[in-house]
Structure 1
């Protein structure tokens, strides 16, 4: 990626910056800095209103093609938006799963009817989504899912359990990977269904986290139903569609995520100055290494996005099956490397925050469990190397798909 901004790019940056400055005012001004991992409960309904305000002004689905309701912006312009959004301390958006994951999946693999039905609601933030992947015995090993669905006339009937389902308690719909072939194993026989959440056969139970909040949930399907035509891709082709969704998950929004990380690091540095911990040469070195690590994250993200963008520009007919497979493996490994990098960096930042806080980090600001931002950062970041694919799984992907090492034995 050429990181030299063109005149048009700088004009776009100023447009984004000006719009945010003019609109994060009044009732929305109080939303600055709210939401995000471990804090999704903060002003949720007000953030929904903000997300719909963004949509009405055309600031959602920036990378979607224009014909599907997006703006068709370049990769670099999308990066600019996410950077400026984070720098403005704008609130975490509530529709990430729909806009960044399901929307692109439907554009790539959905039917015309599915796109017409669901893309407008995603773009307008009038329908919120959750992701039904992980199960009690199928976390990072998604191919082990046991939730099943059977055809009953013009409907699918779904039974089973999902877990760690982010924002299921607020979602209108769930995109879920389920087993539709009773005799199938592993990757075969899976289907990708779109399931309405507001029905008697769906029960959501929030999971209380270390932070005391509950953005994760258990979801139980007990005779839940969805229309037969709400399977994305062909029945039994769910693994391929699910992998496409995971590919979209680590897109341009990761650059904005890293700007948010920079704000957190700034807060840790400010705390180190306040407590005098910055004068400790060991802690000063850790702070410097954290700053350098953040630059590595950004550079890797931009390089990966640039490579993906270049690859997507190559006509499929001009790529051999072996070359496409190799390209896919490299892309998967790049995403895995990215997850390893940012997951460990952010977890280490949480530990650094407590190191500069010292013994005071052991007490809460308000009883019984009033955590401050740095304490919440530390507790939630313990999960960074687990959710979204654990470190162990990411290393297996790199080892097996790229380096060609023997596969890990599986029962």
Structure 2
């Protein structure tokens, strides 16, 4: 098997590195940039390079490009610390989720603004007593005519304060097993009844948020996919979230920063570095 980069891939990496370095000069450098580095202006620049939705099918406005090309661009952006968070979640999973499960009306309404870098999305998943066990979530959306009325609380919602939309994972029924009755609903974050509180972590970052929903009304047409049958949809979405390059490359950027501070004249330190 040939692992040599093609000339096009080399050129793409060089271009991405140049764009990333320029972004750092203009907007600043961030660690874990895909969730800490927020700049809508830079997301618009990414869109002009057609680096949002690179792997999405062409018929949905995407680039139809191989995943390795998105990985190349993502690696250079995150390694440099360029602020890609404003469009990262939508690019990584919200867009693919709507392509897989959304209606044509939803795709027409939301995908173009994702691709242009104009909208930021957050994910309403974890709750105070429901983290990894998604089936135990309590936030409830009750059907009332042609609307859902949502009540509950989410936590660790990255960019809840700045997002235009939340892709909300909630319960629409308490009947059956815990994995049943879960639905996915698009919630505009300017809807009355939503309260967002930022959480500052020990590194002073504040992208995490608590989001409270009190009698929040959204159109029933904002339901994505199957009513009460979205657990499988969410698991598919998590493949995009947990299986991507973002966390791995974030560690590499932190490694390079630590390397600059290491005493590499010390043989024991060099040995520890080599072991990594």
What TM-score, normalized by structure 1, do the two folds share?
Answer: 0.62
> What is the CA–CA distance in structure 1 between the aligned matches of 2:182 and 2:250, rounded to whole Å?
36
5 Å matches for 1:280-299?
281=268, 283-290=269-276
Structure 1 position 153, deviation (Å): 0.9
Give secondary structure in 2 for the equivalent of 1:229. helix
Q: Who is 1:91 aligned against?
A: 83
Give the secondary structure class of the aligned counterpart of 2:207.
coil
- 2:22 corresponds, among 3, 21, 24, to 24
Q: Structure 1, residues 109-130: CA drift from partner, whole Å, max 9, x if none?
A: 1111111111111111212111
Conserved 8 A contact 1:34-1:92 = no
Task: Report the Cα offset of residue 160 of structure 1.
Answer: 0.7
* Shift, 1:267, TM fit: 2.1
**Equivalent-residue separation in structure 2 for 1:77 and 1:90 (angstroms):** 17
Q: Quick one: distance in 2 between partners of 1:35 and 1:264?
A: 7
Provide the aligned length of Structure 1 versus Structure 2. Answer: 276
Cα displacement string for residues 298-346 of structure 1 (whole angstroms, at most 9, x for unaligned residues): xxxxxxxxxxxxxxxxxxxxxxxxxxxxxxxxxxxxxxxxxxxxxxxxx
Q: How does 1:262-301 map to 2 (within 5 A)?
A: 262-273=252-263, 279=266, 281=268, 283-290=269-276
Q: State the partner residue of 1:4.
A: 4
Find the aligned partners of 1:76 and 1:171 in 2 and give their Cα distance.
28
Choose which of 126, 134, 149 in structure 1 pairs with 2:118: 126
Alignment of structure 1 residues 141-220 onto 2, 5 Å? 141-220=133-212
CA distance in 1, matches of 2:124, 2:11: 40
Alpha-carbon separation, structure 2, partners of 1:216 and 1:165 = 5
1:121 partner SS:
helix
- Tell me if the contact between 2:122 and 2:163 (Cα under 8 Å) persists in the aligned partners: yes
More divergent stretch after superposition (153-162 vs 88-97): 88-97
Judged with a 3 Å threshold, the aligned counterparts in structure 2 of structure 1 residues 202 and 114 are, in CA distance, closer, same or farther, namely same
- TM-superposed deviation, 1:205: 1.2
Distance of 2:44 and 2:273 partners within structure 1: 38
> Residues 86 and 135 of structure 1: is their aligned pair in 2 closer, same or farther, counting only changes over 3 Å?
closer
C-alpha distance in 1 between matches for 2:222 and 2:42: 29
Tell me, yes or no, if the aligned pair for 2:31 and 2:81 is still in contact at 8 Å: no
User: Higher Cα Rg: structure 1 or 2?
Assistant: 1
Higher strand share: 2
Q: CA deviation at 1:251?
A: 4.5
Name the structure, 1 or 2, with higher relative contact order (CA <8 Å, separation 6+). 2
Q: Secondary structure at the match of 1:103?
A: helix
- Residue 100 of structure 1 contacts residue 248 of structure 1 at CA under 8 Å; is this kept in 2? yes
Unmatched segments (≥5 aa) in structure 1: 291-411
Q: How does 1:349-388 map to 2 (within 5 A)?
A: none
**2:68 is the alignment partner of 1:82:** no
Match of 2:60 in 1: 68
TM (norm. structure 2) is: 0.90
* Alpha-carbon distance change, 10 to 266 in structure 1, aligned in 2, over 3 angstroms: closer
CA RMSD of aligned residues (A): 2.4
Q: Find the counterpart in structure 1 of residue 108 from structure 2.
A: 116
In the other structure, the counterpart of 1:352 is none
User: Are residues 253 and 108 of structure 1, via their aligned partners in 2, closer, same or farther at CA, if it must alter by over 3 Å?
Assistant: same
